Chains A and B, each alone.
Chain A
Amino acid sequence: AQSVTQPDIHITVSEGASLELRCNYSYGATPYLFWYVQSPGQGLQLLLKYFSGDTLVQGIKGFEAEFKRSQSSFNLRKPSVHWSDAAEYFCAVGDGGFKTIFGAGTRLFVKA
């Protein structure tokens, strides 16, 4: 069965520092991969997606993610974090049918 692991429950970074959030997936074929962001009290919003092609994908708000098949990873990165990036981030994989499987999430705290 497909699964998604986000090893870090929470991460704290200083404003202006770089960020990397880790995501590992388990899936037999080429996966459809997503990162969503949830601000406090809000629903989830799509940051970026990978379906095929270039393994480095760009998203909204200056985020990018790199698909590495050999490592079964899809890590999210941002070169310089802003205070407004504080939120919870979810990695997800499409199961090839009609289901999207989510990881447990990583909560990002940003220090001034």
Chain B
Amino acid sequence: NAGVTQTPKFQVLKTGQSMTLQCAQDMNHEYMSWYRQDPGMGLRLIHYSVGAGITDQGEVPNGYNVSRSTTEDFPLRLLSAAPSQTSVYFCASSALGQPSGANVLTFGAGSRLTVL
């Protein structure tokens, strides 16, 4: 019963490097999302997806790309890392079909990224 699995748990990058944070869920959830958590700012939505082939932007999408080729996976790509992207990243998923806007999110354990 894995739930939402994120890899890696920790990563250090140099400015300008690229990387992909992986997220996989085994609950057959249609909805998947990425948040970043910064001190004093709570969680801010980066991108989300409501199904394979469908993605949309959240509050802070700049510098990040996503794709959704399968129901299970929702990777987050940093094309050219910047120190401002130092953060803890959370992937979260939810079943749809509830009242719209009432997504009960299941979170992964997080990925801590440091950009030097």
Seen from chain A, the residues whose Cβ lies within 8 Å of a Cβ on chain B are 4, 6, 9, 32, 34, 36, 41-46, 49, 51, 90, 94-105
Contacts and interface: CB of A to CB of B under 8 A. Distances in A.
Nearest to B96: A98
Interface stretch (B67-75, B76-84, B104-112): B104-112
Given A9-B40, A90-B42, A90-B43, A44 B48 contact: no
Contact of A102 (B43, B99, B110): B43
A41 B110 CA distance: 8
Given A43-B90, A44-B90, A32 B42 contact: no
Given A32-B99, A43-B110, A103-B42, A98 B105 contact: no
Contacts of A95: 101
Interface residues on B, range: 20 to 34
Contacts of B101: 32, 94-99
A31 B43 CA distance: 19
B105 A46 contact: yes
A9 B41 CA distance: 10
Interface in B87-101: 90, 92, 99-101
Contacts of A98: 31, 48, 50, 56, 100-101, 103
B12 interface: no
A95 B33 CA distance: 14
B100 A100 contact: no
